[in-house]
Homo-oligomer: A and B are copies of this chain.
Amino acid sequence: MIEYNRYSWWKTAFSFRGTALPRAGWRVLTCVLYALLVQATFELGSDLQLYDEQRFLGIDPVGHAVVGSLLGFLIVFRMNSSNNRYWEGRSHWGQLINSSRNLVRFGCEYGERGSTLSRLVAGYVISLRRSLHGQRDTEEVDVYLPAELCEQVSRFGNIPTGVTSAISHWIGEQYRKGKLDSMQVRHMEDQLSKMVDAQGGCEKIQKTPLPFIYVAMIKQLILAYLITLPLVLCERCGWWSPVLMFVVSLALLGMEEASVEIEDPFGSDGNCLDLEALTLTIARDAGQLALFKPVFICDDQHD
């Protein structure tokens, strides 16, 4: 995630890193060169009077603008669905933060050995982060989990699922020792279920991109639009045509590239979510909740 000051207008407008320019730049350049080429051919042809300028005409700008405005809707539709995925991904991690706080707070109030629970929870979110980043091992996780457990969960097809099973086992142990009753078990399992739901939500976003047919059609339409654009402009704009081509292709290709980058919020691009910071928050809060023993002053004085 890129931190920025939301009020420094000019600095943001002139930034290059973190924008879509590094990736879409070459495509925009290609478009401008293509427009220059078409314009040069047109001017050459009209100088040599190869064709009657009255009869050249070119593509009707209003008809062409209908495609342009359809493309505008499509790109905003694309941006919007990428942004929803991003926000949904962030919300799932927000749910992980909330539920881990609830789980550890409750577990430490009623169970014993809360620090084991807090370590299990920290190990869970780290294993989930690594799993979302495509790493299938228990590195980093082994700081929080005992080696035997690491070894066991690493045999799971989905490692975080193995860790949830260990958390369930911790709860079950407390139940069998009589520290938690059946109702309290259920409360904790509910919080754990919410964490598993959030995990499933993250995996859904990561494994299910926007349908290929949409993505491909949008790219094909952008291509068809940009290829025909200089034919619309050559007669009307003269040598200003490549300038307009620059603005239009920057708009279409830049926005499309931005949507591609935001689509997977768990990737490694600069604009993706900072999962390291989120896991650290969870590990810190879980640890502090496990250690907390509130000392009330005698309440009677207050009533």
Contact = CB atoms under 8 A, between A and B. Distances in A.
A273 B204 CA distance: 12
B72 A255 contact: no
B302 A146 contact: yes
In the complex, the count of this chain's copies comes to 5
Contacts of A65: 62-63, 65-66
Interface string A147-162: 1110010011110011
A187 B186 contact: yes
28 contacts: A9-B219, A56-B238, A57-B236, A60-B240, A61-B62, A64-B247, A66-B69, A66-B72, A68-B70, A70-B71, A73-B76, A76-B77, A94-B203, A105-B161, A105-B164, A109-B171, A113-B299, A146-B297, A157-B281, A157-B284, A161-B285, A162-B292, A165-B292, A184-B185, A191-B193, A212-B271, A214-B262, A231-B240
A221 interface: yes
Contacts of A232: 60, 63
A251 B70 contact: yes
Nearest to A162: B292
A90 B183 CA distance: 33
A34 interface: no
Main secondary structure of the interface of A (DSSP, over half): helix
A134 to B, nearest CB: 14
Contacts of A113: 299, 303
A295 interface: yes
A175 to B, nearest CB: 8
A63 B216 contact: no
Contacts of A79: 74, 77, 214
A19 B161 contact: no
Contacts of A213: 2, 18-20, 258, 261-262, 271
Given A70-B72, A152-B292, A181-B182, A18 B196 contact: no
A20 to B, nearest CB: 6
A211 interface: yes
Interface in A1-51: 1-2, 4, 6-7, 9, 12-13, 15, 18-20, 23, 27
B86 A302 contact: no
A241 B281 CA distance: 54
Contacts of A170: 296
Contacts of A131: none
A247 B225 contact: yes
Given A12-B215, A73-B72, A295-B152, A238 B66 contact: no
B62 A237 contact: no
Nearest to A273: B208
